[in-house]
Structure 1
Amino acid sequence: MASKSKAARLNQISYWEGRLEERLKTLSEEGKDPQRVAKDPIVRKIRAKIRETQSRLNAIEAKEKKNEEMARRKAQKAAAPKKEKGKKKKSEEEKQALSKRQQKKLKKKEQKTKS
């Protein structure tokens, strides 16, 4: 399983950068030109690993930032005074408790009694 810790990813980046430096040094000692060095499969693989690790590190940092923001919002919400809810009238509660069909029946019944 891939590491999700920031410290481990930072260690990985430093490891891969060290390997890249070694490889570039070896290739320069062999006298290879920069175009061939850029196309070297090992150099490309190491650079890909660095990009991948950096991408994961960015994701970890984004997640940490999001968690901090959520904690800050939660603290603000806890510190804010709670609003009291107003009491509703019974008639409104009864009407809301009745379904539309039941309300329609009541209206019809009331109209019949009026006629």
Structure 2
Amino acid sequence: MASKEKATRLEQERYWGEQLKKRFTLLTGKGLDAGRISRDAAVRKLRARIRETGQRLRAIEEREQKAEEMARLKAEKLAAPKIKKSRKKKEMEEKPAESKRQQKKKKKKEGQSKGSKQPS
């Protein structure tokens, strides 16, 4: 399993950078031009490793920033004064409001009872 520690990933990035420099000096010593060097399989692999390590470092940074943000929000929430609700407000909130369907039924029932003169 790959390391999730920032220090380890920084060390890996430095290591792959050194390996890439060594490979460049070796290939330039052989007299290859820049186009041939960039197409070299070992150079491409080393660049891929550096890219991969950079992506992991960015992910680690994002995770650290998110953790700091969450800690800050939690501290703010704990520092904020708590708002106490009065008993009347609690009772009003606990009592559910009538749904539209119930209101409609009630209205219909009232209408029938008022005009309930049945013809004989």
Q: TM-score range by the shorter chain?
A: 0.7 to 0.9
The structure number with the bigger radius of gyration is 2
Measured in 2, the distance between the counterparts of 1:92 and 1:37 equals 73
Shift of 1:78: 0.9
Looking at structure 2, the residues matched to 34 and 92 of structure 1 have their Cα atoms a distance apart, in angstroms, of 74
The structure with more helix, counted as a fraction of residues:
1
TM, length-normalised to structure 2: 0.77
Task: Work out whether residues 19 and 46 of structure 1, in 8 Å CA contact, stay in contact via their aligned partners in 2.
Answer: yes
% identical aligned pairs? 56
1:43-82 mapped onto 2 (5 Å cutoff): 43-82=43-82
**What's the Cα RMSD here?**
2.4
- Residue 54 of structure 1, CA deviation: 0.2
Aligned pairs for 1:4-83 (under 5 A) are 4-83=4-83
Residue 95 of structure 1 contacts residue 103 of structure 1 at CA under 8 Å; is this kept in 2?
no
Q: Kindly tell me: are residues 92 and 29 of structure 1, through their superposed partners in 2, closer, same or farther at Cα, counting changes over 3 Å?
A: closer
Structure 1 unmatched runs, 5+: none
Figure out how many residues of one structure are paired with residues of the other and give that number. Answer: 114
CA contact (8 A) 1:16 1:46 kept: yes
The Cα of 1:93 is off from its aligned counterpart by 5.8
- Worse-matched range after superposition: 105-114 or 50-59: 105-114
Matches of 1:105 and 1:93 in 2, distance apart? Answer: 22
Aligned equivalents of 2:90, 2:71: Cα separation in 1: 38
Deviations 1:20-47 (A, max 9, x none): 1211121122222222212211111101
C-alpha distance 90-62 of structure 1, shift in aligned 2 (>3 A) = closer
After superposition, the C-alpha distances for 1:58-98 in whole angstroms (9 at most, x for unaligned) are 111011111101110110111011223353386786561x4
Residue 4 of structure 1 deviates from its aligned partner by: 1.9
2 CA distance for matches of 1:80 and 1:16? Answer: 48
SS of 1:88's equivalent?
helix
Report the more deviating stretch, 3-12 or 40-49.
3-12
